[in-house]
Structure 1
Amino acid sequence: MKLRQLSFIAALLTAAAIAGSGGNPGPTAAPPLDAAVPEVIDLDGLGPVEFGDTEQELARRGVLEPEAPCGPGLAGLDRVSPIFADERLVLLWASPPMRTPEGVTVGTPVSRVRAAYPDATGLSAPAGTYRFDGLLARDGDRAYLFLHDGRTVRKTIAGYAEHARRLFDEGYSPC
């Protein structure tokens, strides 16, 4: 367990002990993000984390961990990596068990993705690279980008369509 999780558990136990004794526990920490968020990432974001939120807003709300290994991370959600541009959340890079509302996640067959998103645009990785092909499923200014090996989804990314396409065109890495 991470130190933050242990601290949170200790705070809860202390608050419970104080509450049981009739004392005033004072302010308590917010529950970890993963306790309040379903495992569904949609084109608005993920629970209380919405595309367009600033890094400052997310940090103030205690949702952003600035010291994560690959840059800022989401507190309690190591399965999701935020990507920022101009200090605003523009993409979320999601790993299982995170999935779209249609149930698409890493490991989903490409045929099922095409059935769930029939208007998705196929994107071809540059020849001679180790990058995956993609399917870009747009809805207005938002999109899912499913990177795949021709058979199954290997990476799931959600957010602003412009940034998803740029990520695909320029190369990608969650770190």
Structure 2
Amino acid sequence: MTAAWISGSGAVRPDGTAVVEPAAAVTVVDLDGLADIDFGDTEDELTRRGILRTDIDACGPTLAGHETVSPIFVDDRLVLLWAGEPVRTPEGVAAGTPLAEVRERYPAARHLDAPQGTYRFDGLLARDGDRAYLFLHDGGTVHKVIAGYADWAQRAFDEGHAPC
């Protein structure tokens, strides 16, 4: 079971052994960014490296090889990554993770209430220095994982911003 959690697959064979996914199948977003993308990188830098794409019909720039991740830039610098399934934190949290598991893995996370009368999700902000994860949830399950600079994650939650 532990190997399944570490691998991020969560799948277990009938004999109780973990089904381990190939490492390439799991994308991890941590508080530095992604394997080939760091918070603070510029749009020009990522475009020059062939990572940032603007030629795809989307609501904004996209990241090559990361179809479920939306970058947020402020003053030409990457400040947040909005990640959908199958992207996970190093602790295994992804869209679809039960909230109870998030609280176990991030016990110091602070609860954030969505404004009354809106259709926005509540949040859990797990801060580590100037970086944080923001987990948007419906009270039972994570719907979106946002990673990046803590102040920008808090601001995105407070103001209701999204990639589109």
Is the shorter-chain TM-score for this pair beyond 0.5, marking a shared fold?
yes
Quote the residue 1:13 is aligned against: none
Letter in 1 for 2:132: A
Quote the residue 1:41 is aligned against: 29
Quote the residue 2:104 is aligned against: 115
C-alpha displacement of 1:76: 2.1
Render the CA deviation track for 1:32-51: whole Å, top value 9, x for unaligned.
xxx97951110000011000
State whether structure 2 residue 93 is matched by structure 1 residue 104: yes
Match for residue 143 of structure 1 among 132, 138, 145: 132
Whichever structure has more helix as a proportion of its residues is 1
Distance 1:101 1:45 in 2: 11
Quote the residue 2:7 is aligned against: none
C-alpha displacement of 1:67: 2.9
- Is contact 2:71-2:80 (8 Å) kept? yes
Distance 1:171 1:141 in 2: 20
Match for residue 126 of structure 1 among 104, 107, 115: 115
Distance 1:107 1:64 in 2: 27
Identity %: 67
Runs of 4+ that moved beyond 6 A: none
- RMSD (Å) for aligned C-alpha atoms: 1.5
Match for residue 82 of structure 1 among 36, 59, 71: 71
Question: Larger Cα Rg: Structure 1 or Structure 2?
Answer: 1
Letter in 1 for 2:94: T
- What SS does the corresponding residue of 1:169 show, helix, strand or coil? helix
Gaps of 5+ in 2: 1-22
Distance 1:168 1:162 in 2: 10
- What SS does the corresponding residue of 1:174 show, helix, strand or coil? coil
C-alpha displacement of 1:172: 2.6
Gaps of 5+ in 1: 1-34
Quote the residue 2:40 is aligned against: 52
Distance 1:92 1:140 in 2: 17
Distance 2:147 2:131 in 1: 8
Instruction: Give the TM-score normalised by the residue count of structure 2.
Output: 0.82
